[in-house]
Structure 1
Amino acid sequence: MQPLESKIALLIDADNAPASKIEAIISEIAKYGVTNIRKAYGNWKNSSLKGWEDNLHEFAIRPVQQFEYTKGKNATDAALIIDAMDLLYTQTLDAFAIVSSDCDFTPLVMRILTSGLKVYGFGEKKTPLPFVCACSKFLYLETLGQDIDPETSKERGSTRKTNKELKQDTKLINLLRRAIESTNEEDGWSTLSSIGSHISNQASFDPRNYGYKKLSALFESIDLFELKRKNNVIYVKSKKKPRTSEKKQRCSENP
């Protein structure tokens, strides 16, 4: 008997998301389940949403009209939040996918998580960190759906981080090291799959946000870790830091 597909509600803040990425977004969500509910919120009388209008029928997205009742106030956010709470209580769902670069949805994400549902976030790199970190998984739209192969990433405008840049990201390095420490065997090696599962259970993380297609490629780019492959299984462990005496010896050998 095949397992049931996860049901996901896709809610789009059309005022704060580019229409050009909708195909890549839906393709990404398909990895986790089926989007049986698709809604896009905004003032559809506004010419700035013309790009979204052209995609509504093609991707079976239901437009939700929201007028600007008070100038300077974002009524679209309120409408999306109200709908999300209605869906949370009236529908049987497994996850929400929220497309926006607006931090105002952070409390909504935290509320959905308390009900045991996952939240997949999609937004541009300008998205404030509270919203990014609150999601079960968050993907930057600039890296979604593009070729991030090393040979072509420069042409596509990818922001692949170098070994030096990654090592300077203390938060990332600590996250990777703690995941290894929590999943390793007595010999210090951890399977890549167990590391990935441990990270996903505690943080919003995706190697594509750093310019790497897979977690293994991210580890390989950082010279603080060792990788080995055995029977189609990838193992990772942290490199040992050289002792002070070893450092002095190296310095004397290489003055």
Structure 2
Amino acid sequence: MLSSEAKIALLIDADNAPAAKIEAILAEIAKYGVANTRRAYGNWKNPNLKPWEDNLHEFAIRPVQQFDLTKGKNATDAALIIDAMDLLYTRNLDAFAIVTSDCDFTPLVMRILTDGLKVYGFGEKKTPKPFVYACSTFLYLENLGQDADIGPAKTVDSVKKTTKELKQDTKLVSLLRRAVTTAQDEDGWSNLAAVGVHISNQASFDPRNYGYAKLSTLVDATDLFELQRRQNGIYVRDKRDAKGAKP
């Protein structure tokens, strides 16, 4: 987790992101730091970008004009990538936030990560998996604004994965079990905070993408782990390891 003073560059692919989510996006970014650089890229003569245009001044986002130089070619992508590399080399930044549902930015994300900066991705559920997995953290816009602090709990419930669905997600189950095993203490219990750190260090992950506001509720919903609440936090143990173990 970055500090509250972390400097974050927010770069928006306006052609491939809904303007209606910008307030929730900025609220999410505020958890990690300050979006002191805010840019939105697109051909602003295109009437389809009118919803974005209406939000630019309100949220202090600088529009970057990019004409469609060749039909069928997305010049907006190139402009965003060039600016991102310039920012990477000339600004003292701690992270990037990239808003897009386009897979073309995957190499950019991997390049930024190489310099040790975090990349927070935001996109719709149609976003290709390579971009989702490349980001330090990726959050689907359909789920954004649905945790306990931002939106009504019933909104989370409407997209919540069932226990059966969670168990069938082999990638999720493997990720959780590896993290729990890595964070185990001598008694076989793992501090959930340490589990969360381990997960964030190795994969793009947010419990809200599964319909759960917190990691603890997601872990509990899998029915694969025991949870124990202590004064110094929540501890978790794989039920497979718990068999025959002393409490």
Q: Which amino acid aligns with 1:128?
A: P
Change (3 A) 1:211 1:180: same
Moved more, 57-66 or 232-241: 232-241
C-alpha deviation, 1:147, in angstroms: 5.3
Question: Could you list the runs of 4 or more consecutive aligned residues of structure 1 that deviate by over 3 angstroms after TM superposition?
Answer: 147-151
User: Once superposed, what is the RMSD of the aligned Cα atoms?
Assistant: 1.9
Distance 1:4 1:30, change over 3 A: closer
Counterpart CA distance in 2 for 1:159 and 1:51 is 26
How many angstroms apart in 2 are the aligned matches of 1:235 and 1:163? 20
Counterpart for residue 246 of structure 1? none
1:152 to 151, 154, 177: 154
| Paired letter, 1:145 | G
SS in 2 for 1:235: strand
What SS is found at the alignment partner of 2:83?
helix
Match of 2:18 in 1: 18
Q: Which amino acid letter does the alignment assign opposite residue 94 of structure 1? A: D
CA–CA separation in structure 1 for the residues paired with 2:158 and 2:168:
19
CA distance in 2, matches of 1:120, 1:195: 20
Q: Is residue 187 from structure 1 mapped to residue 173 from structure 2 by the alignment?
A: no
Displacement of 1:188 in angstroms is: 1.3
Relative to structure 2, which stretch is displaced further, 143-152 or 76-85?
143-152
| CA positional deviation for 1:216 | 0.3
Q: Which residue of 2 aligns with 1:36?
A: 36
Equivalent pairs counted in the alignment come to 240
CA contact (8 A) 1:143 1:158 kept: no
Correspondence list, 1:112-191, <5 A: 112-146=112-146, 152-153=154-155, 158-191=158-191
Deviation at 1:241, TM superposition (A): 7.2
Match of 1:86 in 2: 86
Give the match's secondary structure for 1:227. Answer: strand
Q: What SS does structure 1 have at the residue aligned with 2:121?
A: strand
Q: Which amino acid aligns with 1:152?
A: K
TM-aligned CA deviation for residue 46 of structure 1: 0.4
SS in 2 for 1:55: coil
SS in 1 for 2:86: helix
Shift of residue 150 of structure 1? Answer: 9.1
SS at match of 2:12: strand
Task: Give the TM-score of the pair, scaled to structure 1.
Answer: 0.90
Give the unaligned 5+ runs of structure 2. none
CA contact (8 A) 1:68 1:75 kept: yes
State how far apart, in whole Å, the 2-side matches of 1:209 and 1:240 are. Answer: 26
Query: In structure 2, what residue type is equivalent to 1:227?
Result: L
Code of the residue aligned with 1:221 in structure 2: it is: A
CA distance in 2, matches of 1:61, 1:150: 28
Give the share of equivalent positions with the same residue, in percent.
Answer: 74
Q: Please tell me whether Structure 1 or Structure 2 has the larger radius of gyration of its CA atoms.
A: 1
1:219 matched to 2:219? The reply is yes
Deviations 1:123-143 (A, max 9, x none): 000000000000000000000
Matching of residues 232-243 of structure 1 within 5 Å: 232-240=232-240
Q: Which amino acid aligns with 1:75?
A: A
1:191–1:233 CA contact under 8 A, matched in 2: yes
Q: Distance in 2 between matches of 1:237 and 1:161?
A: 21
Report the Cα distance in structure 2 between the residues aligned to 1:4 and 1:23, rounded to whole angstroms.
18
Aligned equivalent of 1:100: 100
Q: Tell me how far apart the structure 1 counterparts of residues 69 and 157 of structure 2 sit (CA, whole Å).
A: 39
Counterpart secondary structure, 1:68? coil
Q: Distance in 2 between matches of 1:185 and 1:30?
A: 33
Distance 2:223 2:36 in 1: 43
Larger CA deviation: 139-148 vs 185-194: 139-148
